[in-house]
Chain A
């Protein structure tokens, strides 16, 4: 069965370190998204991609970067981790023009703690 996976599921790192969170989907979706979830803020969009070599900044992109070299993967990199980036990170994917009911898929989330 097709799926979307994230790794690691939990990570603890230190301030200033570079961290990469992986997202892999086997739906063959063109669209991929990264969100962070914090209490009182819901899910906020960090970066998104509508296809290979396409990346776009979301609402809270400062301190994060992504690259899309193939359809299946959209890794999220924290260039120099900060305590304010402690959060739960969700990856999602969807079909292009994905306004129909069953095209939004989320990964299980990665809980990142920056000490």
Chain B
């Protein structure tokens, strides 16, 4: 069975600093996908970034990058130059081989301090 673990329930970071949100996963599937979503206080789920298990390079989307360490089963989200608007809940998620359903971690609440 697949499992996603986010060990940081909450984080406080000074504005303009870089942030790393931790995510580890467990799966026996050789092919899988990893996602990060942002949920601001307004409640909507916003897709941020995706990494395929066979992708050779780490995914990047603007200020977001995914630090993918396959051997460690780690998929940390890195936010460079944090902004006040980055304050939100962040969820790590994954899909498995031949299976499109998404399994989510419990989330990390990020607070950016001015």
Q: List chain A positions with a Cβ less than 8 A from chain B.
A: 31, 33, 35, 40-45, 48, 50, 56, 58, 88, 90, 92, 94, 96-102, 104-106, 108-109
Contacts and interface: CB of A to CB of B under 8 A. Distances in A.
Contacts of A48: 101
A35 B107 CA distance: 14
Interface residues of B, number: 24
A80 B35 CA distance: 34
Contacts of A31: 100-101
A42 B50 contact: no
A24 to B, nearest CB: 16
A33 B102 contact: yes
Contact of A99 (B6, B37, B47, B95): B95
B29 to A, nearest CB: 11
Interface of B: 6, 31-33, 35, 37, 43-45, 47, 49-50, 52, 59, 91, 95, 100-107
Given A90-B45, A99-B52, A43 B100 contact: no
A39 to B, nearest CB: 10
Contacts, number: 60
Nearest to B107: A42
Contacts of A106: 37, 44-45
B47 A102 contact: yes
Nearest to A58: B101
A42 B107 CA distance: 6
A90 B35 CA distance: 17
B102 A104 contact: yes
Nearest to A90: B45
A92 B45 CA distance: 10
B58 to A, nearest CB: 13
In this complex, the member of B32, B44, B105 whose beta carbon has the largest number of chain A beta carbons within 10 angstroms is B44
B90 to A, nearest CB: 11
